[in-house]
Homo-oligomer: A and B are copies of this chain.
Amino acid sequence: MKNNVKLARVSLSLTQEQLATRVAATRQTIGLIEKGEYNPSLQLCIAIAKELNKTLDELFWEVENK
């Protein structure tokens, strides 16, 4: 479940908590997603992608799938 959320978030100078607030999640959830040990819901993935100006593929479609 590796992804590019942390990279994209830091690029926008957002904290985990700021991102969490904007996607109506908690800091802990964002942390676990970035850590890659989580299986988030599609809705949350889409909310995160929109907030980080990325698409699902850019954040969650891993290299090995391409």
Contacts and interface: CB of A to CB of B under 8 A. Distances in A.
Q: Which secondary structure characterizes the binding site on chain A?
A: helix
Number of copies: 2
Q: How large is the interface on A (under 10, 10 to 19, 20 to 34, 35 or more residues)?
A: 10 to 19
Interface string A46-66: 100110000111001100010
A60 B56 contact: yes
Nearest to A65: B50
A49 B61 CA distance: 10
Contact of A41 (B39, B50, B55, B57): B39
Interface of A: 1, 39-43, 45-46, 49-50, 55-57, 60-61, 65
Interchain residue pairs A-B with the least CB separation, the first 10: A56-B56, A57-B57, A39-B41, A39-B43, A56-B61, A55-B57, A56-B57, A40-B42, A42-B45, A55-B61
